[in-house]
Chain A
């Protein structure tokens, strides 16, 4: 070393060695850094990728919300259809205290019972006219939950079941008091605009007719838990609430139908039909129908109400037997060509009145009327039809489509008291 540093040539050698070592060290550092950064570059995404990644998450959430909106709307339509079909009750049978006939939930059913301390029976009235339409929510929840189950089965994003606080609303229709509503005259004041009304009728008897369905049904679902999208370095939450409208005036129809149903009770068939015709003439977009065979009057022998024991006078034939002969001579048969008839003694009978125990009963007839209320909507009118009715399509057990008319169904059952008799 001393030699290297000490002579003039040694200094050069020192510079050479330091340079070589320095260059080698720099090259090693350079290679290391290059490899590291190239590796880093390979993981680099283009500018905006991160933003696009977030936008993708928003878009995915939007796709889930689109499904939810449509599922909620479909569920509303099906719930409204089922609710109408079951007369505003939560199921076809069992939910009404009055029970149901074959296809109709009973809104009234009379039983007959004896009046205390009196010798007569009277109808025991059981009225089951629905007081509200809140069963809609249970139908809706069932429908929506089943659609959420279907969705969760095919999607990577999961919606939460039974996640909503529901609020049924009827969007307010701004109504000017100076205009006429459906059924009101339109000679002096025009039909209210924006309500699908037209002024029809003959001169002097013109009134507003609803040509379009009236108000809509609105359902607001406030989500209680969020929809979560979890990805690498991204956690996105959105509350999947919804507000959906359907073209069914459920709340308005409920009021119109339940308020008029009571007046149909106790009417003869023809009188009932006349009342329904009068309802139809009110132009409320509802068509009241008594289906064929929908009016049944049962006055069978079984329809009797027991009151008490009684005695019944019965006319009976009483016979006193004829006197019995002490001996009967048996004539010896003689071979004669003609036989002679032997006279027999006859009973002596007479009609007498006797008292027998009986039951004092009052007979009655049981009457049941099935009522169908369709919703007029000319948008559903088929070629050749004079009037269109709102429709809803379902699928039968074998997978075939069934187009059903959207109709409110209910039945009324009452009794007509008859004679009191001891039987």
Chain B
């Protein structure tokens, strides 16, 4: 035993036991999720899944949209092109597009956007397949374009239209609503299968940017 006022061996052991139990307690707390990293991991949502779900819902909404009539479609496609907005006219031969729209009302009259895409299948190997890409891009932009924001007063506006790709199964022609993708970062991608006027299926893909609206707010 230590004498009074001395630091004895039993005191040392007591401290060691105390320290060990303290360590043990802290480690248990850490195991149960009190660490910063684990707390963060436990609370944050998987933004990737949410973004893909959002893209999927958005694509379904686009595909269920009723197509406008011939006059409305041609007028809108032409006016967007003539507006001079580079975002909207890039990569489109508008004369090709309007010629196709005028001659083939059967691809969009009384149809949804999905029906329109399904109808285009019939022309993928025909003599007018060269006009198909122009018609698809022009129609997609005309139906779904929207003004996003004015970047700076006087400098004009930025327009948004969805980046939609169509792939015909069993064919070499693919359609694209945009000539290049302006989506920053990793996009949310949704793919849907559609029937065609033939017997094959076709796939439609939407790429959606990781914008603020796509992330959940806790």
Binding site for B on A (CB under 8 A): 8, 11-12, 15-16, 19, 22-23, 26-27, 30, 33-34, 37-38, 41, 44-49, 52-53, 55-56, 59, 62-63, 66-67, 70-71, 73-74, 78, 146-147, 150-151, 153-155, 246-247, 377, 379-383, 388, 391-395, 399-401, 403
The secondary structure that dominates the A interface is: helix
CB of B200 within 8 A of chain A?
A: yes
CB of B96 within 8 A of chain A?
A: no
**Smallest distance from the beta carbon of B103 to chain A beta carbons, Å?**
7
Cα–Cα distance between A392 and B104 once the two chains are bound (Å): 10
Q: Which of B76-84, B118-126, B133-141, B150-158 contacts A (4 or more CB under 8 A)?
A: B118-126
Beyond A66-B60, A78-B197, 11 additional pairs, beta carbon < 8 A: A19-B17, A23-B17, A46-B41, A46-B46, A47-B42, A66-B63, A67-B195, A247-B109, A379-B69, A382-B102, A401-B126
Give 29 A-B contacts (CB < 8 Å), ordered by A residue: A16-B9, A23-B16, A23-B20, A26-B21, A26-B24, A30-B27, A33-B27, A34-B27, A38-B31, A41-B38, A46-B41, A46-B46, A48-B45, A48-B46, A49-B49, A59-B57, A63-B60, A66-B63, A66-B194, A70-B112, A70-B195, A246-B110, A247-B109, A247-B110, A379-B105, A382-B102, A388-B105, A391-B105, A393-B122
Beyond A63-B192, A150-B200, A155-B193, is A26–B20 a contact (Cβ under 8 Å)?
yes
Q: Across the interface, which residues of A come within 8 angstroms of B21, CB to CB?
A: 26
Cα–Cα distance between A19 and B20 once the two chains are bound (Å): 10
User: Of A45, A67, A392, which contacts B46 at CB under 8 A?
Assistant: A45
Q: Are B195 and A66 in contact (CB under 8 A)?
A: no
User: Of A23, A74, A154, A391, which contacts B197 at CB under 8 A?
Assistant: A74
The secondary structure that dominates the B interface is: helix
Q: Are A19 and B13 in contact (CB under 8 A)?
A: yes
CB of B28 within 8 A of chain A?
A: yes
Q: Across the interface, which residues of B come within 8 angstroms of A401, CB to CB?
A: 122-123, 126, 128
User: Of A22, A62, A73, A155, which contacts B115 at CB under 8 A?
Assistant: A73
The 8 closest A-B pairs by CB, nearest first: A401-B122, A247-B110, A71-B195, A37-B31, A391-B106, A52-B49, A399-B125, A48-B45
**Smallest distance from the beta carbon of B81 to chain A beta carbons, Å?**
19
CB closest residue in chain A, given B204: A66
CB closest residue in chain B, given A148: B195
CB closest residue in chain A, given B129: A401
Cα–Cα distance between A395 and B32 once the two chains are bound (Å): 64
Q: Are A52 and B56 in contact (CB under 8 A)?
A: no
CB closest residue in chain A, given B46: A46
Q: Across the interface, which residues of B come within 8 angstroms of A41, CB to CB?
A: 33, 38
CB of B143 within 8 A of chain A?
A: no
**Smallest distance from the beta carbon of B96 to chain A beta carbons, Å?**
16
Q: Are A147 and B199 in contact (CB under 8 A)?
A: yes
Mark interface residues in B34-78 (1 if CB within 8 Å of A CB, else 0): 000010011111100110010011001001100001100000000
Mark interface residues in B179-209 (1 if CB within 8 Å of A CB, else 0): 0000000000000111101111100000000
Binding site for A on B (CB under 8 A): 1, 9-10, 13, 16-17, 20-21, 23-24, 27-28, 31-33, 38, 41-46, 49-50, 53, 56-57, 60, 63-64, 69-70, 102-107, 109-110, 112, 114-115, 118-119, 122-123, 125-128, 169, 192-195, 197-201, 216
Cα–Cα distance between A52 and B45 once the two chains are bound (Å): 9
User: Of A30, A59, A70, which contacts B114 at CB under 8 A?
Assistant: A70
**Smallest distance from the beta carbon of A55 to chain B beta carbons, Å?**
6
Q: Across the interface, which residues of B come within 8 angstroms of A155, CB to CB?
A: 193
Q: Across the interface, which residues of A come within 8 angstroms of B53, CB to CB?
A: 52, 55-56, 59
Q: Across the interface, which residues of A come within 8 angstroms of B192, CB to CB?
A: 63, 66-67
User: Of A12, A62, A147, which contacts B9 at CB under 8 A?
Assistant: A12
Cα–Cα distance between A274 and B195 once the two chains are bound (Å): 44
Q: Are B106 and A70 in contact (CB under 8 A)?
A: no
Q: Across the interface, which residues of B come within 8 angstroms of A70, CB to CB?
A: 63, 112, 114-115, 118, 194-195
Q: Are B201 and A403 in contact (CB under 8 A)?
A: no
CB closest residue in chain B, given A152: B201
Q: Across the interface, which residues of B come within 8 angstroms of A49, CB to CB?
A: 45-46, 49
Cα–Cα distance between A381 and B102 once the two chains are bound (Å): 9
Q: Across the interface, which residues of A come within 8 angstroms of B119, CB to CB?
A: 393
Beyond A37-B31, A46-B42, A52-B50, is A30–B24 a contact (Cβ under 8 Å)?
yes
Q: Across the interface, which residues of B come within 8 angstroms of A22, CB to CB?
A: 17
Cα–Cα distance between A247 and B33 once the two chains are bound (Å): 60
**Smallest distance from the beta carbon of B129 to chain A beta carbons, Å?**
10
Q: Are B122 and A15 in contact (CB under 8 A)?
A: no
**Smallest distance from the beta carbon of B28 to chain A beta carbons, Å?**
7
**Smallest distance from the beta carbon of B185 to chain A beta carbons, Å?**
19
Q: Across the interface, which residues of A come within 8 angstroms of B201, CB to CB?
A: 67, 150-151, 153-154
Q: Are A74 and B195 in contact (CB under 8 A)?
A: yes
CB closest residue in chain B, given A406: B106
Beyond A59-B57, A63-B192, A151-B195, is A47–B105 a contact (Cβ under 8 Å)?
no
Cα–Cα distance between A44 and B33 once the two chains are bound (Å): 11
Q: Are A395 and B38 in contact (CB under 8 A)?
A: no
CB closest residue in chain A, given B171: A399
**Smallest distance from the beta carbon of A41 to chain B beta carbons, Å?**
7
User: Of B63, B197, B216, which contacts A393 at CB under 8 A?
Assistant: B197
Q: Across the interface, which residues of B come within 8 angstroms of A393, CB to CB?
A: 104, 106-107, 119, 122, 197
Q: Are B16 and A56 in contact (CB under 8 A)?
A: no
User: Of B17, B49, B106, B122, which contacts A395 at CB under 8 A?
Assistant: B122
